[in-house]
Amino acid sequence: MECILALLVLQYGFEMNTKPAYLAAAGVGAAAITAIFIKHNDAVKELARVENGITRIIRLQNTVKIRYVNNTQLLEYLYLKYNVSSASELGKTWQLYLEEKEERRNFQMAERQLDQCQQDLLRVLRRYQINDPAIWLHQTAAILDKKEMVEIRHNLIIRRQSLRRRMDYNKEVIAGKAQAEIKDLVENYPKYGKEILDIVGEYEKDFS
């Protein structure tokens, strides 16, 4: 503005030719306006870029918050489901689960192998015509060790003797009761006493 006033004074006050100066001032003004316009456009673009960046940051922040809430809820659900109170405890429980799963798998494999071995043993025992070979599936040590076989025989003898004693005792008790009942029948029905005794005699003859 001061430059324009000075040119006017020179033009009208001193009647000087100021046209070149006007042109120079206009050029300088145009250059200044162009520079300001370019800076303004750059500033607008930078502002838009910053605003886009802020918007993107806000979206990312919201996404992180949502994921945090979801993960927190999932973690709380897992704590409740597996009855734990921390991630460390959950990790220990998970490790124990993996170990138990592996042990069960090994146990199942061992069971299948045992079943196969038992079937092989049964075939061998049947080949040698062993009576009741299934019994030896649970007494395989006796097949390989004579001492174990002697021990099993000893136990079988003891069990057989005990069983015989019980059978003899039961036979005596039953026979005693039967004799008492027969005696009561004969006393209560003396008319049929001889017939009752004959029937008992025939029965004893058949089972003696």
Which tens digits make up the pLDDT trace of 11-46? 555 555 555 655 555 555 666 677 787 888 788 788
Name every residue whose Cβ is closer than 8 Å to that of residue 121 and which is 6 or more positions away in sequence.
Answer: 133, 136, 137, 140
Structure tokens at 148: 């174990």
- Residue 6: predicted pLDDT: 55
What does pTM read for this prediction? 0.42
Where does the chain have alpha helices with state H?
2-8, 19-81, 87-127, 140-144, 146-188, 193-207
pLDDT of residue 108: 94
Residues in the chain: 208
CB 90 within 8 A of CB 82: yes
Distance (Å, whole) CA 106 – CA 142: 27
> pLDDT tens-digit profile of 132-169?
888 877 887 777 778 887 888 888 888 888 888 887 77
Contacts of residue 178, Cβ cutoff 8 Å, sequence gap at least 6:
none
